[in-house]
């Protein structure tokens, strides 16, 4: 089975294809965004909208957008921050027959400082091996003041039929229900099933989750990020999205490793890291 890391053109954007041990991934440098992941012996697990735009005018709808240094509209910055619409640089790559890894990096610039006046470096390390995808996000505070941010690895998972998918592991956690006036609620179901718009910030989630989608199951593990965001726009909101087909909401469920309701603070000169791991079971 082929292995390697090659530069490719993906709908006009510079990207990398990782292949190792029967697993593969595609990562766009624009947005530092994983767009595809297929585990060994499996099928695609990430949703990428058929009508996503690749002209740099807007974030790419699908895969794993990186939201930083602001989650959603929890501040004055552009929605979900500004790193999903800039080019990241490739800082490192490693590959052998079973394992492939790339490290993408982005640093503050005059452009970012005009929006958010902090010296920073961020890194996303993406690795594939066998049945797992690891995404490690690191934030380096290069300034002399405390740096505080919110953000997320905004993972769009591909499902066969959203209405039939079951997300397990959230029982008992408190969440802010963004789709229902930001009411604070407690999850009382063994499994979250989606049959309407869902936009929830589950707080302080410290357990792995399982997504059951037909005959497939995905383990979702998070470290460092305090919250898990679950999002599906459902019919009406999906129809209003210019870069998603009308029935796109049926094929996706976002399960995001997030720091949304609990900002992360990083002392001057210090680093923070968080990780999301997907394991095809
Ligand atoms: O359309 P965007 O900017 O990519 O955001 C998509 C969604 O992202 C989710 O994380 C938010 O909870 C939603 O409120 C938001 O609508």
Give the CA dihedral 17, 18, 23, 24, nearest 10 degrees: -20
Asked if 80 is an active-site residue, the reply is: no
Asked if 154 is an active-site residue, the reply is: yes
The answer to whether the pTM exceeds 0.90 is yes
Query: How far is the centre of ligand 1, averaged over its atoms, from the C-alpha of 196 (Å)?
Result: 15
Q: What's the mean pLDDT when you consider all of the chain? A: 97
Q: What percent of the chain has pLDDT over 70?
A: 100
Instruction: Provide the CATH number for the domain around residue 115.
Output: 2.70.98.10
Catalytic residue chosen out of the listed positions 118, 123, 154, 197 = 154
E strand or H helix that includes residue 244: none
Q: Is the CB of 229 under 6 A from ligand 1?
A: yes
- Residue 258 sits at φ, ψ, to 5 deg, of -135, 155
Number of structural domains, the chain? 1
Q: Is the CB of 209 under 6 A from ligand 1?
A: no
Question: What's the pLDDT tens digit per position in 218-262?
Answer: 999 999 999 999 999 999 999 999 999 999 999 999 999 999 998
Look up the domain containing 12 and give its range: 4-280
Distances in Å between the Cα of 275 and the Cα atoms of 203, 226, 257 are 16, 11, 8
């Amino acid at each position: 089975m082929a292995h390697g890391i090659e530069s490719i053109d993906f709908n006009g954007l510079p990207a990398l294809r990782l292949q190792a041990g029967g697993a593969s991934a595609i990562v766009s440098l624009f947005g530092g965004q994983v767009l595809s992941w297929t585990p060994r012996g499996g099928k695609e697990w990430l949703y990428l909208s058929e009508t996503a735009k690749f002209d740099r005018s807007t974030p790419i709808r699908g895969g794993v957008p990186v939201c930083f240094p602001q989650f959603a509209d929890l501040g004055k910055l552009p929605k979900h921050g500004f790193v999903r619409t800039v080019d990241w640089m490739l800082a490192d790559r490693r590959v052998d027959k079973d394992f492939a890894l790339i490290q993408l990096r982005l640093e503050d610039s005059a452009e970012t400082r005009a929006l958010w006046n902090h010296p920073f470096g961020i890194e996303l390390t993406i690795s594939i091996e066998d049945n797992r995808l690891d995404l490690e996000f690191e934030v380096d505070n290069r300034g002399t003041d405390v740096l505080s941010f919110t953000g997320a690895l905004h993972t769009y998972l591909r499902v066969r039929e959203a209405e039939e998918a079951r997300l397990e592991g959230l029982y008992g956690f408190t969440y802010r229900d963004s789709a229902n006036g930001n009411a604070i609620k407690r999850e009382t179901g063994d499994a979250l099933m989606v049959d309407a718009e869902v936009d929830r910030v589950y707080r302080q989630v410290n357990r792995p989750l399982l997504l059951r989608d037909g005959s497939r199951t995905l383990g979702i593990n998070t470290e460092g990020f305090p919250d898990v965001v679950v999002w599906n726009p459902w019919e009406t909101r999906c129809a209003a999205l210019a870069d998603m087909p009308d029935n796109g909401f049926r094929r996706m469920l976002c399960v995001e490793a997030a720091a949304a309701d609990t900002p992360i603070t990083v002392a001057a000169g210090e680093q923070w890291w968080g990780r999301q791991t997907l394991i095809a079971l």
